[in-house]
Amino acid sequence: MDILATYATSVGYRPAPKILLVEGTSDVALFNGAAKLEFERTAVHLLGQELSIVAAGEGDAGGTHGVLQQLTTLRSLAKLCLGQNGKPRYRIVALFDNDRAGRDAVRAAHDFDKSILEYKDVFRLRPIMPTPVNIDAPAIQRAFEQENQPHKELDWELEDLLPQSFQTAFNEEHPSAQLKMVTNNGFVHRDYTRDGKARFHRYVREHALREDMAGVCDVLRSMRHYLNMR
């Protein structure tokens, strides 16, 4: 194994040519669960061997701070791992929630390393994750800003991609789990208590069908598009 694969394995990551860093293990579980349901229904691999989704860590080791730390570490190691054509073998990107912490993290990443660009190396999850034909950063940025303009101030997390019928069924069963709900131009963001969020992810594991996870699969497809993957 090369130096990046050795490091990744040592911290529990599965090395792959494309590595997507997310804030926590619950995000990884949602992506993996959605990809599994999609494969069972369609035999389409949204992950496969070429894409690895990894959490920066659990608890204090995760979150935006953990993602920034691992992003800079893995990018530094990737520069040392070149193929026979002289190009890096790995591409490392990060996906943050679109909340205050995520927005601050995107700015902090660029402030720390000017070569880290939003819409190329770091992304914020938005209600619409567009897939323009041109995948250079300016084109992707224009598409993001245009398609998300009506709800540009709305916080957005991976859990918000589950359909409202699923969210309502969960809330009826766990009425104390939700802290607040914000609606903006047809999109709904919910904040849960810490325990409520854990209950929600347990509910997803036990009850979610492929149709419920369609939005999560769409994000995976979008991220593959930005990474120039088939």
What would the DSSP string read from start to end of the chain? --HHHHHHHHTT----SEEEEES-HHHHHHHHHHHHHHHHHH---SSTTTEEEEES-SGGGSHHHHHHHHHHHHHHHHTT-B-TTSSBS-EEEEEE-BSHHHHHHHHHHHHH-TT--BTTTEEE--S-----S--SHHHHHHHHHHHTGGGTT--B-GGGGS-HHHHHHHHHH-TTSEEEEEEETTEEEEEE-HHHHHHHHHHHHHH--TTTTHHHHHHHHHHHHHTT--
201-221: average pLDDT: 97
Q: What is the value of pTM for the model shown? A: 0.95
pLDDT for 201 equals 96
CB 38 within 8 A of CB 46: yes
Compute the mean pLDDT over every residue in the chain, rounded to the nearest whole number.
Answer: 95
Strands laid side by side in the 122-124 sheet: 51-55, 18-22, 91-96, 122-124
Residue 59 has pLDDT above 70, yes or no: no
Beta bridge partners of 19: 52, 92
pLDDT for 56 equals 86
Residue 119 has pLDDT above 60, yes or no: yes
Residue from 12, 122, 26, 29 nearest 67 by CA: 122
Residue 108 has pLDDT above 80, yes or no: yes
pLDDT tens digits for range 18-43: 999 999 999 999 999 999 999 999 99
129-144: average pLDDT: 96
pLDDT for 48 equals 85
How crowded is residue 224: how many other Cβ atoms within 10 Å of its Cβ?
19
Residue 60 has pLDDT above 60, yes or no: no
pLDDT for 57 equals 76
d(Cα 26, Cα 125) in Å, to the nearest integer? Answer: 15
Q: What dihedral do alpha carbons 111, 114, 119, 125 form, nearest 10°?
A: -20
127-131: average pLDDT: 97
pLDDT for 58 equals 75
Beta bridge partners of 192: 178
Q: What does DSSP say about strands 187-192 and 178-184: parallel, antiparallel, or unpaired?
A: antiparallel
pLDDT for 36 equals 96
Q: Which domain holds residue 131?
A: 3-226
81-86: average pLDDT: 90
d(Cα 170, Cα 142) in Å, to the nearest integer? Answer: 36
The dihedrals phi and psi of 38, each to the nearest 5 degrees, come to -65, -40
| Local confidence band at 1 (pLDDT 50, 70, 90 cut-offs) | confident
Sign of the C-alpha dihedral, residues 222, 118, 94, 49?
Answer: positive
Residue 61 has pLDDT above 70, yes or no: no
pLDDT tens digits for range 152-191: 889 999 999 999 999 999 999 999 999 999 999 999 999 9
Which of the given ranges, 59-73, 75-89, 213-227, has the highest pLDDT on average?
A: 213-227
State how many domains the chain has. Answer: 1
Q: What does DSSP say about strands 91-96 and 122-124: parallel, antiparallel, or unpaired?
A: parallel
d(Cα 44, Cα 69) in Å, to the nearest integer? Answer: 32
